[in-house]
Amino acid sequence: MFDTVVIATDGSESAERAITVALDLAERFDAAVHALYVVDTGDIDGSPESLRDEMETALTEAGEDALAGITERSDREVVTAVREGQPASEITQYVDEVDADVIATGTRGRHGEHSFLLGSVAEGIVRRCPVPVLTVRQLDDSEESKPDAV
């Protein structure tokens, strides 16, 4: 049913549970795993010009660290990619390029709650993506995680 799973991460705490669920899904279906981090050029363009190169480098390194964390957590091979651009568009394009069957993402990212229910990037992915999107919300401290949720 699922041959290729894409995990979209921004390295935030909210993405951690989505990563766990996506890796479990890939394991259950013996699917290939791709992990993607998008350096948001809007963040870079919105920063003072004198800091843009430094910020781009820092965001790229953060992305590489986030992807390395996924690779370390997985028992399977993980294809990783760092892209630059508008996150929802880049993620949707990547999904098309690798012919993914499903994409998993957190519901809130580094910027916190942009919308009441979904973060702006997650909402953009849900609206644009041609494949099923598994949005996984981070549990509050008061909620228990169920290990077999998938």
| CATH number for position 93 | 3.40.50.620
Spell out the per-residue pLDDT of the chain, length 150, in tens. 899 999 999 988 878 989 999 999 999 999 999 999 999 998 899 889 999 999 999 999 999 999 999 999 999 999 999 999 999 999 999 999 999 999 999 886 544 444 444 468 888 899 989 999 999 876 555 555 555 554
Any domain includes 141: no
Any domain includes 150: no
Any domain includes 28: yes
- What's the CA gap between 77 and 28, in Å, rounded? 15
Any domain includes 142: no
- What's the CA gap between 61 and 127, in Å, rounded? 29
Tokens (6 digits) for 146: 């169920």
Question: Does the predicted TM-score (pTM) go above 0.75?
Answer: yes
Q: What domain range includes position 122?
A: 4-136
On the 0-12 / 13-18 / 19+ scale of CB atoms within 10 A, 125 is: buried
> What is the count of structural domains for the chain?
1
Nearest alpha carbon to residue 66 among 113, 109, 100: 109
Any domain includes 42: yes
**What strands lie across the sheet with 102-106, from one edge to the other?**
78-85, 32-40, 4-9, 102-106, 133-136
